[in-house]
Structure 1
């Protein structure tokens, strides 16, 4: 699968006329592809939408090339953007959670992609006295953090939907 993935990435990045390089890291259930290019902004796009779309495309191509057996999800990162964004989201989610605990008032966040909402849901689920749910549809889908203890190992319906959407974006 690694050879096929290299071929797909070479073709797509060449087609996009991007200069740069990439590294593959094979994990148990996925491949992490770290792309380094001077055109990072163009490849990432607004709010990471271009990167999400490219990742979806790569996963669909790989799914067709490999079939269900041996398929591993491909996660793309450009110039460390996604890794940095994940770290920022974890810290922001903790701050948002503290704010809700201090004020006792719900907090509606700006719209986020499914993988970003999933990270926020996971952080909030670990905090006592808080719950979170997704609201809205499509590009307007966002998280509402609420006071009230909902610490449970069972995901809420909105967390389940975000997790499925995140997997679909990455699969």
Structure 2
């Protein structure tokens, strides 16, 4: 077989493998997530599903030690989610969105953020001054923006760059 035909055959094999991997996204994610938790020495029950609408692979982890996986304000959880996304995407050959939830952390965090948003809206409305919220992740800022998007008395804006990016709640004029 000449060199050109070898390259074509290798390319076809790689494409075939990638196509097969795309179909097995959940299976690949399951293997990688279980291996990561095993290496961390964490025993957990894990459920996996592919969200047909968003095409994301959702992972629900139940463990007796959720704090270790969640970390401060979900930083460890976000890092775990990002690492899983990168590793799975490399294996599958296309970007794969991974959403990890530990216990009911995401739901509880969303409730806290919604209360924070409404409290800031009240302050801004009654004081007439902008309210600057503490630093939040992009995902957390999004929850607050969505919560306040239909609020009749305030608007929310993100200001700044990088680590110093803040969300500001301002009264409507």
Fold-level similarity (TM above 0.5): yes
Matches within 5 A, 1:23-38: 23-27=47-51, 28-29=53-54, 30-38=56-64
The structure whose Rg is larger is 2
Task: Specify the alignment match of 1:167 in structure 2.
Answer: none
Q: What is the SS of the residue equivalent to 1:112?
A: coil
Give CA-to-partner distance per residue, 1:55-109, whole Å, 9 cap, x none. 10000111111122xx541111111111210122123212221221122111011
Name the Cα RMSD after superposition. 1.6
Q: CA offset at residue 141 of structure 1?
A: 2.4
Q: TM-score, normalised by structure 2?
A: 0.78
Mapped pair 1:49 → 2:75: yes
Mapped pair 1:67 → 2:93: yes
Mapped pair 1:99 → 2:123: yes
Q: TM-score, normalised by structure 1?
A: 0.79
Greater relative CO, 1 or 2 (CA 8 Å, sep 6+):
1
Q: Which is helix-richer, 1 or 2? A: 2
* Runs of at least 4 residues off by over 4 Å: none
Q: CA offset at residue 115 of structure 1?
A: 0.4
* Alignment gaps of 5+ in structure 1: 150-171
Q: What is the SS of the residue equivalent to 2:45?
A: strand
* Alignment gaps of 5+ in structure 2: 1-24
Q: What is the SS of the residue equivalent to 2:134?
A: coil
Q: CA offset at residue 49 of structure 1?
A: 0.7
